[in-house]
Structure 1
């Protein structure tokens, strides 16, 4: 299967999925969301691969949802369609019969961060910029962001991270138990490769089986969270706070929320 916004390669038992809109900091437009959904769904029946690496091309992992696409009003970012695709994307990624590694450099924000948090292992450079920053444009996390963040931090921690929306470095995110390993700047590829090598010499089949058992107990909860995110996000898209947040983002000023 060929993609316009992704690069997918396979070497022995390792699949690498690279977000490939570098000129847009790999922000996720409608096409990328659909292609990620299609890619992960196609891999649900993959028999040979045991490890998947998810990374971004260029200067960032992903800056999150594509604000320009959201503002274009050309039908390419129709909210109900996008939320349905995000639901299918998140469920497929969480269900993959392989170990998933997010390899993060630069920004991993918003929807991009939700995808990172859905991974089994997260490796990020010290200077990475990780932010669950939906609050800045008057929205809530989507792509399962509430669920994946809560799984890492518990509900109290998840609430405060969502409400603050602040950016964390790799070191700060590691201290908050939001990522698993910090790589020195410029060593992300080597650090990721070392993790893959370590996993390759581990009883991967047993590890994947444990993943499937544990994730299987959480599927109904994830589905419920995704349904609530879709409902709330669709409603918030027309709120005064969201419109103010978007205008402030485009104008590069501080938003003034009054709702």
Structure 2
């Protein structure tokens, strides 16, 4: 593999995928979306790999979608939503045990991507946020589906509407994160998990994943479609324009429900 925005490494039965745009806190642009999709698609055919670690380079897991690219016109919404839906579907159905290793920010689309994994392990000081609401948008990357899976319908709505930036500790308490560790200790913890998995019946674990996830796949696909339709509508709202202006001007947005 020759990816630029992601790095791929395989050691035995374990693959590590590293989001590799550290200067932008691993913001997910069109190139990264495509490379993630291509990587996950290839992994579907690499049967010797049974465990996948997903992590971020530098100071964060991922700050989310590339808002600067959106502002500059470099992020085409139609292309982005198609690519996001593709890699999300491929990640959710990946016949491997997937561990999201979170430090720093996991926000917006970055959080949706982490939640598509089987385990989310985060440092207690991580900043966890489903914060699309801050720029007048709705979650994408299956964010509605994954929040509902982990929190239930009512709590998922409330968390999405609040757009709160939570510590890893709080995110673990409400169920968005599976395990928390001290700052700087997430890599060691995930490696200890991988070591335990090396003595586990991984084929049986993966078969259970297939049975449960394939049953939910039609719902995920429906939500991905509705997110695409909804995001297009939100991009034309006055609130979204105000959210973008506020982001650029580094101030609190003044939304009017329009």
- Scaled to the shorter chain, the TM-score interval is over 0.9
Moved more, 34-43 or 239-248: 34-43
Runs of at least 5 residues in structure 1 that lack an aligned partner in the other structure: none
Contact 2:142 2:224 in 1 (8 A): yes
1:189 to 187, 190, 193: 187
Whole-angstrom CA distance in 2 between matches of 1:200 and 1:174? 26
Runs of at least 5 residues in structure 2 that lack an aligned partner in the other structure: none
Whole-angstrom CA distance in 2 between matches of 1:45 and 1:152? 29
Q: What is aligned with 1:56?
A: 56
Q: Deviations over 1:129-169 (max 9, x none)?
A: 00000000000000000001111111111001100000111
Q: What is aligned with 1:245?
A: 243
1:90 aligns with 2:61: no
Q: Deviations over 1:103-133 (max 9, x none)?
A: 0000000000000111100100010000000
Whole-angstrom CA distance in 2 between matches of 1:32 and 1:238? 25
Q: What is aligned with 1:146?
A: 144
Q: Deviations over 1:22-77 (max 9, x none)?
A: 0000001111111111111111111100000000000000000111111112xx42
Q: What is the deviation of 1:209?
A: 0.1
Deviant stretches of 4+, over 6 Å: none
> Within 5 A, what are the aligned runs for 1:34-183?
34-73=34-73, 76-183=74-181
Q: Tell me, what secondary structure is at the counterpart of 2:44?
A: helix
Contact 2:66 2:75 in 1 (8 A): no
**Normalising by the residue count of structure 2, what TM-score does the alignment of the two structures yield?**
0.98
Count of aligned pairs between the two proteins = 257
Contact 1:30 1:69 in 2 (8 A): no
Whole-angstrom CA distance in 2 between matches of 1:77 and 1:185? 33
